[in-house]
Homo-oligomer: A and B are copies of this chain.
Amino acid sequence: MQIAYPYLAMEVGSAFASGWTWFKTKVTDFGRCWKKLGKDDPRRVIHSLKVGVAIALVSIFYYYQPLYENFGVSAMWAVMTVVVVFEFSVGATLGKGLNRGVATLVAGALGVGAHHLAKLSGSVGEPTLLGFFVFLQAAITTFMRFFPKIKARYDYGLLIFILTFSLVSVSGFREDEILELAHRRLTTIIIGASACVIISILFFPVWAGEDLHNLIALNMEKLGNFSQGFADEYFRASEEDEASSSKDEKSFLEDYKSVLNSKNAEESLANFARWEPGHGQFRFRHPWKQYLKVGTLTRQCAYRIEALYGYLNADVKASLEVRSKIQEVCTKISTESGKALKELSIAVKNMRQSSSSDIHIENAKTAAKNLNSLLKSDPWEDNVDLLQVIPVVTVASLLIDLVNCIEELADSIYELASNAHFKKLDPTVSPEKPSATVKSPPKDDWHHVVINIDEAPTPAIREEENSSAPNTSIVKYIQV
């Protein structure tokens, strides 16, 4: 047994050491997680500090003697309101604050009424009637929370309605200063909600509307990046080539996946945005609903891209020989689609009516037509069996489909531009873009137009563009 001790000590020691290592890695992992979360969106850190300040401020109401004497225990409601109402974006905070305020007011009034009515029915009938009222309003209001439209905007208000009505009508039985109580509750709630709204608007405001605006633009940009990079990746000459491109370089080809599931995020942002006052470039009644329409059509494009993505990683690709026949024209469609998407993204982002996307769409459509005639001439001339051709033809067909989708998307963005009064791009302001307003230039001008747009972008455009995307391939393009 004596011999066993050192072993035991060693074992305990090593267990302790490995436990310590485990603990250290956990802590560093956790720390890295926090850092990443803050770095991804520094507004999160600011929001957390803002909430801390707001709660600490409102606690003063509950803390200092003079205020305490005025509001009594009701001051508690101010603290509560701040905790519950303060949301990340101004719109969500405003929506919750207004919901809470209005619901408290209405439910308070109805509760006092119910209490008064019940009192008339004598000491036996009163509790029965009150219980019935509470049951009835709770059941009806809970059912109303199932209506999708009501749920989206007034869910929190209905919750507070049930809460306040129950508390006021039942507690009224206790205290005769029921009106006094309701009044104090409302005042403290208004104080709490105002503190939230003021702090949330004055210090580094996060506007849901702006977030929605940027999200919609970003999603289109992601799809544009994919489109621009797709052809290059698909028509890569050999497998070795493929291996040589690092995974990092390819990661932008998977960015589009987040677009597939962005519906809920867009819808809740649009709901919040509708509560927000005018800010920055957005008026009070900015057409947020139109953004949802644009978002839906963007997702339609993303579904096509999802199908295309499957062919990037297909186990068996068509042979290089088969692919090369339609490489140029497919590259043209893909690149032009990508450029169109990026132009649309920039137009939305900068809130400018721009027709430069039209040129790219026209180019893509003409290339699609060329692809059609190319296929009509049967470029493979029976040298290759149809089986080899199928995936290539499918990719071509999906690309053509994508162009149609993008055209629809562009239409919805024109609608948005006119509803939201996007600024018109003055051709004299950017003389280096003489053909930016030409809707469909003569074919001979393509080369010229495209080079012009490519070589003299606005600074915003340059920032937007992913430098790894094959921007220059278009210059080499020879009309098919």
Contacts and interface: CB of A to CB of B under 8 A. Distances in A.
A59 B304 contact: no
A105 interface: no
B398 A44 contact: no
A138 to B, nearest CB: 4
A55 B135 contact: yes
Nearest to A296: B261
Contacts of A130: 59, 63
A5 interface: no
Nearest to A302: B303
A171 B48 CA distance: 23
A197 to B, nearest CB: 17
A143 interface: yes
Interface string A455-478: 000000000000000000000000
A162 interface: yes
A424 interface: no
A162 B49 CA distance: 13
Contacts of A171: 62, 76
Contact of A131 (B59, B167, B398): B59
Contacts of A310: 401
B63 A173 contact: yes
Contact of A59 (B170, B375, B390): B170
A167 to B, nearest CB: 6
Nearest to A62: B170
Contacts of A396: 390
A142 B378 contact: no
Contacts of A73: 73
Contacts of A263: 261
B375 A166 contact: no
Nearest to A140: B48
Interface residues of A, number: 74
Given A261-B263, A303-B307, A47 B80 contact: no
12 contacts: A38-B143, A51-B142, A52-B138, A56-B132, A76-B171, A260-B303, A261-B261, A261-B264, A304-B307, A375-B385, A378-B385, A393-B393
A430 interface: no
Nearest to A88: B146
Contacts of A10: none
Given A63-B130, A134-B56, A376 B386 contact: yes
Given A170-B79, A303-B306, A394-B398, A55 B138 contact: yes
A388 to B, nearest CB: 9
A8 to B, nearest CB: 35
**Shortest 6 CB-CB distances between A and B: which pairs?**
A52-B139, A48-B143, A52-B135, A56-B135, A394-B397, A52-B138
A372 B394 contact: no
A50 to B, nearest CB: 9
A107 to B, nearest CB: 11
Interface in A54-102: 55-56, 59-60, 62-63, 68, 73, 76, 79-80, 83-84
A143 B372 CA distance: 55
A9 interface: no
A303 B47 CA distance: 37
A322 interface: no
Given A53-B135, A304-B307, 16 more contacts: A34-B143, A51-B142, A52-B136, A55-B166, A56-B131, A56-B132, A59-B130, A62-B171, A63-B127, A63-B173, A68-B174, A73-B73, A76-B167, A84-B163, A261-B261, A394-B394
B83 A159 contact: yes
